[in-house]
Structures are given as C-alpha cells and as structure tokens.
Structure 1
C-alpha cells in the first residue's frame, strides 16, 4: 500500500520543478568547488599534497549540511504543496488507502529525492577531481559515496520535522521559515556542542564516531516521523 502511494506521488511531481531542485544543489556545490580549486589550484594542491581527494571532499562537505537542511525544507514544502494547491487532501484520504501509507509514501519520496541528489553530488565531485588532474586510481569511493548520505542520516530529524509541519499546515510560510532558521543555526551548531541535534549532520561525516551520530540522526528522525504520522492520522486535513 505504501509502495502504491509512493508511485502515485512520484507521478504527481512531474512538471512541478522538484527535479530542478534535486539537480540544483549538487551542481551548485560542484560549481562552487570548481571555482575554489580553479582559482587556487596550485596552492590547494600543495596544501593537500598528501591527500588531494580528501582535501576536495573536506572542502565540499562543510556546505553539505546547509544544502541538505534547505533541500529538506523546500522539498517537503513542494511535495505537500501538490496536495495543498489542488485542495485534494480530502479526496486523497477518502481513497481506500490508510493515512499512514499516504504519509509514509510522501516521506519516502522526499528521502529518495535527497538520496538521488547526494549521489549526483558524488558523481559531480568525482568528475571535478578528474578534471583537476587528480589520480583516478586513488579515488576514495567509500568516502565519495557517503559524502552526502552520512550527513543526510544526521539531518533526518530536520527532514522529519519539516515534512510533518509542511504536511499538516496549509500555510507554508511558518515551516519554511523555521527550516531556513534551522539550516542557518546548523552552520554554528558545533560551537554549541557536537551533540546538539543540528550538528549531527556534519558530525556524521567528520566526528570521532560518525556512525554514532548518523545513528542518532536516524533514530531521532524516525521518532519525529512517528509523531508526525500519528498527528496526521488524527488531524482533519483540509
């Protein structure tokens, strides 16, 4: 049932500009580092001489949490907005499909789109490194593939919260504003504490125990997802 809901939502996003957003973030981050390394290539090659690929990944990953939180906010709003704009919530929920399946399907769609965006970022950075002349035989594929996926696991609470708020609220201004604030605060969260939830996204990559922070993000994200699902199941959505 959830699979049917996911497939239906996948069809609904055609022509909504969502795919543009999915491609925008990885292209933007890759272009930013192309400019960074293009202007300072000799200096950066000297600075990261011991590990050129590692240096490139470190320069990218500092912007990934911000991109993920903003992406989670906008994607959640756009996915929920498909139903809000058309006023089709009541029609959708009157169909022989549970509210839990509807909610889970839309959430999984947001997760899949973010995962695709993360993998596109990996592809873009690998291509950039090769264009810059880095050794193709020393590509750290494990790190490259998890470049966006580990921070995404740490950012899952933000995605779950934003998805909840955008789904149950017809006025998207408040949840979108909150998402932007959370993304900005996340930039400075490490100065508060590495255990502050908004810091988990970055710590899931660069922390002393990345898997722990990724697990914390997944656990908190699933808890918020469950709370949102219960609220959505009981709420009269217009």
Structure 2
C-alpha cells in the first residue's frame, strides 16, 4: 500500500492538481480578506467571524470546495483512463483493491491540504488585518465538521470518476450540482436531501437554519461516502476489462 501511495504522489508531480487546489483555495481566502477589510472600516464588533470567516466560507463551501473535490478526483482518474493506462497499471503485481483505495487516500489528502491551507491562510489574514480575537477552538470544530460534511460529495465524485471513462461526466455532476446549492440551502425542508448543501450549512449554520439536523447531516454524508466507496471498490475488483 505504501508503494502505491508513493506512486500516486509521484504522478501528482506531473500534474497541476496541487497548484489548482492552492489557487482555488486562496481565491476563497481573498474574498474573505477583502470582506474583512470592509468590516474593519465599519468598526464592526465581530470582524473575524462575521466578515473574514463568513466571507471566505460563502465562496469556499458553496463553490470552491466542490470544484476542488471534482477537479482533483476527475483529473486523477483521467490519468489512468487516458491511453488506457489501466491495463498497464493492473498488469503489474498489485492488488486492485489497494490501487483503488490508494487513489482515494491521496485524493482525500489533497482535500485535507486545502482545509489546512485555508485555516493557516485565515490566521495569516487575521494577523495582517490586526485582528487579535481569534476563536481557535471554534475554527477547529467548524473545519472538522466541514471536512466530514463533504464526504458525500467525495464519495459520489470518486465513484463516478472511475465508473465513467469520460472526463466530462464527473465534472458535470460535481460542478453542475454545486451552482444551485446555495439556493437549495435556503430551504429549511429540502436542504437535507441535497448533499452539495452540506458544506454550506455545516460551515455557516449561524446563517442557515438546520432545524437540529446537524448529526443527521453528518451521518448521511458519511453513509453516502461509505456506500459509494464500497460499491466502487467491489466493482473495480470484479471488472475484467478497464
């Protein structure tokens, strides 16, 4: 498994996946930074939570995070789908199941990198803006819930990326369902049925009414993830021609 992880990391060096993830994350941070400057000019009380955090998450949880998940997983799958590289890879003495899981681990590692980058970037932005009151424990809790709430999207995109050889299929699913998510998130009844809303609601629960469904949301997100990975794992192992 360690060797497979090293191989996947080596492949990433030949792509712009990390660079793309970094740029998209910093774009969301810039939105929050710009919003926070306006809060300072207005002498607002809660500049960090009400402006820097909210301004950043309004873009990151709604659009940037789903795009990062989609682009990263779709591009990783495309490396194998193109030129039918699966045959060459699986001709080696490796277990199919471990190949599948290694790609999932690396993909989720990149998403975790995005969260850490955003967290560090937000602290740096607060320092540059002269914001002294930073709720560290509150931030860690929010980021942890945000990461778990995105599992449903990760599972669906990961499955579709390796289920369909065409690069456009996971891209259409990931990006297409992300755009209307902000509108659906405003619905108190129906947001729970739309996994693309989970990052928005989890990171901005003080803006959107959850109706006490936070735990249900996380359970559904993790369940969708496990089900998608489970189905994809056994389908990947059983398929004769890739």
Q: Would you say same fold, with TM above 0.5?
A: yes
Residue 146 of structure 1 and its aligned partner are, at CA, apart by 4.6
- Give the match for residue 233 of structure 1: 237
* Range with bigger deviation, 59-68 or 20-29: 59-68
Match of 2:107 among 90, 106, 110: 110
Match of 1:70 among 57, 67, 70: 67
- Give the match for residue 194 of structure 1: 191
Separation in 2, partners of 1:173, 1:89: 19
* Range with bigger deviation, 147-156 or 161-170: 147-156
Match of 1:61 among 51, 57, 64: 57
Q: Could you tell me whether the CA contact under 8 Å between 2:66 and 2:153 is conserved in 1? A: yes
- The 3 A distance-change label for structure 1 pair 237 and 107 is farther
Match of 1:183 among 178, 182, 185: 178
Separation in 2, partners of 1:143, 1:6: 33
- The 3 A distance-change label for structure 1 pair 146 and 62 is farther
Residue 144 of structure 1 and its aligned partner are, at CA, apart by 2.8
- The 3 A distance-change label for structure 1 pair 40 and 134 is closer
- The 3 A distance-change label for structure 1 pair 204 and 40 is closer
1:95 and 2:92 correspond? yes
Q: Could you tell me whether the CA contact under 8 Å between 1:73 and 1:162 is conserved in 2? A: yes
Separation in 1, partners of 2:129, 2:177: 34
Residue 215 of structure 1 and its aligned partner are, at CA, apart by 3.5
Q: How does 1:150-229 map to 2 (within 5 A)?
A: 150-192=145-187, 193-196=190-193, 197-205=195-203, 206=205, 207=210, 208=212, 210-229=214-233
Q: What SS class does the counterpart of residue 188 from structure 1 fall into?
A: helix
Residue 79 of structure 1 and its aligned partner are, at CA, apart by 0.7
Q: Could you tell me whether the CA contact under 8 Å between 1:30 and 1:125 is conserved in 2? A: yes
Q: What TM-score, normalized by structure 2, do the two folds share?
A: 0.86
Residue 174 of structure 1 and its aligned partner are, at CA, apart by 1.9
Q: Note the residue ranges of structure 1 that are not aligned, 5 or more in a row.
A: none
* Range with bigger deviation, 64-73 or 117-126: 64-73
Give a deviation string over 1:63-102, Cα, whole Å, max 9, x none. Answer: 2222111111100111111212243201211222221111
- The 3 A distance-change label for structure 1 pair 183 and 99 is same
| Count of aligned pairs between the two proteins | 231
CA RMSD of aligned residues (A): 2.0
